[in-house]
Structure 1
Amino acid sequence: MMKAARRPKATTPDKICEACGRPFSWRRKWARDWDSVKTCSDRCKGALRAGRTASAT
């Protein structure tokens, strides 16, 4: 099994969470499916599925 290439923090891509609107950065566990990642957390994923937006706390 090949290891994911390590990236310097400055070159990791960012996205905007579709649920809360906050920016979030690439994480190693998302390496295989970064193109399909839409939310920054499980909380936001649940909120998006329920059809509501997560509030920033």
Structure 2
Amino acid sequence: MARQRSKSDLPTKICPVCGRSFTWRKKWARCWDDVKYCSERCRRRRSQIQDNN
């Protein structure tokens, strides 16, 4: 059996809406390059942030 990676070894990104960092998830394995937002809530709020600027 393969060794598990520790959470600190996983890639991270910064969410442009809330500014928090988020870590790679298994469900994002195929589309990690396309993931921009940390959550569904931030994805929905992206237009509100752009309208305020």
TM-score tier, shorter chain, comes to: 0.7 to 0.9
Tell me, yes or no, if structure 1 residue 33 matches structure 2 residue 34. Answer: no
Task: Give the unaligned 5+ runs of structure 1.
Answer: 1-5
Identity %: 52
Q: What TM-score does the superposition give when structure 1 sets the normalisation length?
A: 0.71
Rg bigger for which structure?
Answer: 2
Runs (4 or more) in structure 1 with deviation over 3 Å come to none
The two structures, once aligned, show a CA RMSD in angstroms of 1.2
Structure with the larger helix share? 2
Query: Could you say which residue in structure 2 is the equivalent of 1:10?
Result: 8
CA distance in 2, matches of 1:35, 1:13: 11
